[in-house]
Amino acid sequence: MPSVSEAQYRAEIARFCHLTYEKGYVASTDGNVSARLPDGHIMCTPTISNKGFVKPEDMVIIDMKAQKIKGERKASSEIAMHLLIYEMRPDIHAVVHAHPPCATAYAAAGIPLNKALISEVVLALGCIPLAEYGTPGTPELSDQLRPFVKNFDALLMANHGVVTYGANLEDAFNRMDTVEHFAKISIYTKILGRERLLSSEDVEKLWVQRQKYYGLEGSDAQPKDPMCPVTDGVSETISLTRSELIDLIERVVSNLK
Ligand SMILES: [Zn+2]
């Protein structure tokens, strides 16, 4: 008989898998979810399983070296990414990996979700950087994620999907929810043809609030990357008069000759 807490973890992982599927964040056998157990082992979803139908008894328990401790099935093929996060972040106890369509579109376009567009997203995540592509299920992928894991709680994985992590399963899932919602809003601002970014002063005030809301102290309360999120002070668009533009083009063309 599994202990009560192990049974609870099994049920909770299954619940968040079902939610991830129902929200459309995964299709078919995409994605994987894991949690760090009180004894330090990792419970994760089995490989090639539809997250809409996965059952508590399907979960696999492994150690931090990916050796199976318990379970009928094989652990997720992308478990190395989860282990990397648990290893680098002792504060993290749950990881969710999915392919939500809007955020994954950003990942496929090679565009990070790094703009200070929505105050609540800055508060919750700061920004969501883009890790370059690495073949799933190989050390290449972990190598691309490693530089970001310490300083961010949600990452876009180029040409692949999203990984989010938190102190518990709800926390990790909420971050996935925030990333996809923000990606959708970001696409709408593109459709509207205008993005009005928050100023760096606005973002600084949000970081003070973040400290209060999340009980963060010292360096944890500060932005980890001065360019993340991008504020209106660091505009990607420039404005030129017609004659300045003509002058610029003429100079480029004459250099080509
Ligand atoms: Zn994946």
Structure-block tokens of residue 82 = 């989860």
Is residue 22 part of the annotated active site? The answer reads: no
222 has pLDDT over 60: no
Look up tokens 């150690």; give the residue: 63
Cα–Cα–Cα angle for 77, 38, 72, rounded to 5 degrees: 40
Task: Determine the average pLDDT of the residues in 219-239.
Answer: 66
All structural domains of the chain:
4-192 (3.40.225.10)
Read off the pLDDT of residues 176-192 as tens digits, 9 standing for 90 and up: 999 999 999 999 999 99
Q: Higher-confidence residue: 184 or 239?
A: 184
In the reported structure, the alpha carbon of residue 135 is separated from the centroid of ligand 1 by a whole-number distance in angstroms of: 10
204 has pLDDT over 60: yes
Structure-block tokens of residue 9 = 């973890």
244 has pLDDT over 60: yes
Task: Determine the average pLDDT of the residues in 58-82.
Answer: 96
Active-site pick, 6, 12, 78, 180: 78
Query: What is the C-alpha to C-alpha distance for residues 101 and 180, in angstroms, rounded to an integer?
Result: 8
Read off the pLDDT of residues 25-44 as tens digits, 9 standing for 90 and up: 999 999 999 999 999 999 99
Q: What is the DSSP string of 129-172?
A: -EEPP--TTSHHHHHHHHHHHTT-SEEEETTTEEEEEESSHHHH
Provide φ and ψ at 15, rounded to 5°. Answer: -60, -45
Q: What is the pLDDT of residue 135?
A: 93
Q: What is the DSSP string of 18-64?
A: HHHHHTTS--TT--EEEEE-TTS-EEEPBSS--TTT--GGG-EEE-T
In the reported structure, the alpha carbon of residue 139 is separated from the centroid of ligand 1 by a whole-number distance in angstroms of: 14
- Ion ligand 1 — residues with CB under 5 Å? 161
In the reported structure, the alpha carbon of residue 96 is separated from the centroid of ligand 1 by a whole-number distance in angstroms of: 10
Percent over 70 (pLDDT), the chain:
91
2 has pLDDT over 60: no
21 has pLDDT over 60: yes
